[in-house]
Structure 1
Amino acid sequence: MKIFEAIRKDHDIQRKLFDELIETSGDSERRTQLFEALKHELKIHEDAEERHFYKPLISDDMMQEHARHGIAEHHEIDELVEKLEETEQDSSAWLKYAKDLQHKVLHHLEDEERTFFQLSGKVLSEKQKEELATKYVAFMDECRNGVAK
């Protein structure tokens, strides 16, 4: 497996969680569960991606601006998550913020999949793509299993 496939699998998890979350209503147990799962996925994905994808690319002249942009978007996503955490789940503002977050995350995922992956594919060797995937997946598994304990 290459790094792009590993990241794309997690992108699909995030898309699915958003689809389900946006369909919930009010201050329900389901909304709370989905939001907690989404927050966790976003956080561990962000950490794994910055460590095992962006960091190795940021020193490359062609990739530096793109990597910094991706990291900046992660921070914007974190801010929207915080806004959701501070808002009552049964208020109409909560769903608006959730949709804003969904829009931001989906934009970020598309940027990565359509631009960043192609550019980084030219910079990374096949061996690097596989090694980064191994490290990325191991980190994600560790984070997911750590929460389950």
Structure 2
Amino acid sequence: MDIVDAILHDHADQRRLFAALDEARGDIDSLGKIFDRLRNHLESHAQAEENFFYPQLLRDGEGAADSDSAEETTEDAIDDHNEIAEAMEAAAKLTVGSQEWWDQVDEANVRNSKHLSEEERQGLPDFRRTVDAELRRTLGVRYLAFQSAHDADYTRRKKDVDSYIEENAA
């Protein structure tokens, strides 16, 4: 599977899980379970992108749409991953279903929606244009293998954006 297709599939899952939280409002047991799954999925998804997608984009990308460079796209994405994780971590410390919890979940949803939009407009088209299909398939398999091993319970460490770019741009 092409890594771009795998990422787009994950994006659909994220949108579905955020919507499921809204549908489960009032059912605390379901809210907690859906939230845990979403949180783990967001964390393993972000780490998988940081392992397999963004390093290759930094090497081959040129920038697409309203992004001037692959470095700019990557910098924004890593910042977004950190901000989404912070909102989800804050929610995890609160009482599921409380107004404070919903405020943090909504913040994560807003940040995630912004990130998905940017990635689908900038990073993914740039990747399709600059990375050949065979390498996209190889990276897709590695991406899915990582997620398969970590999607049920994974906590990503916050990244320093400048260090990440320096380490992965070579």
TM-score calculated relative to the size of structure 1: 0.88
RMSD (Å) for aligned C-alpha atoms: 2.0
Deviation at 1:110, TM superposition (A): 1.5
Q: Is the 8 A contact 2:40 2:153 kept in 1?
A: no
**Deviations 1:62-82 (Å, cap 9, x if unpaired)?**
311111211111001111011
* Alpha-carbon distance in structure 2 between the residues aligned to 1:13 and 1:137: 14
Dislocated runs of 4+, deviation >6 Å = none
Q: Is the 8 A contact 1:26 1:91 kept in 2?
A: no
Q: How many residues align?
A: 147
**Deviations 1:13-69 (Å, cap 9, x if unpaired)?**
111110011233357111110110001101110111110101222234731111121
Higher helix share: 1
* Cα gap change, 1:121 to 1:90, in 2 (>3 Å): closer
| Structure 2: gaps spanning 5 or more residues | 63-69, 155-170
Q: Is the 8 A contact 2:31 2:97 kept in 1?
A: no
* Cα gap change, 1:73 to 1:28, in 2 (>3 Å): same
2:44 matches 1:44: yes
* Cα gap change, 1:50 to 1:92, in 2 (>3 Å): same
* Alpha-carbon distance in structure 2 between the residues aligned to 1:72 and 1:9: 22
Deviation at 1:89, TM superposition (A): 2.0
Q: Is the 8 A contact 2:57 2:123 kept in 1?
A: no
* Alpha-carbon distance in structure 2 between the residues aligned to 1:75 and 1:117: 19
Identity percentage over the alignment? 29
TM-score calculated relative to the size of structure 2: 0.78
**Match of 2:162?**
none
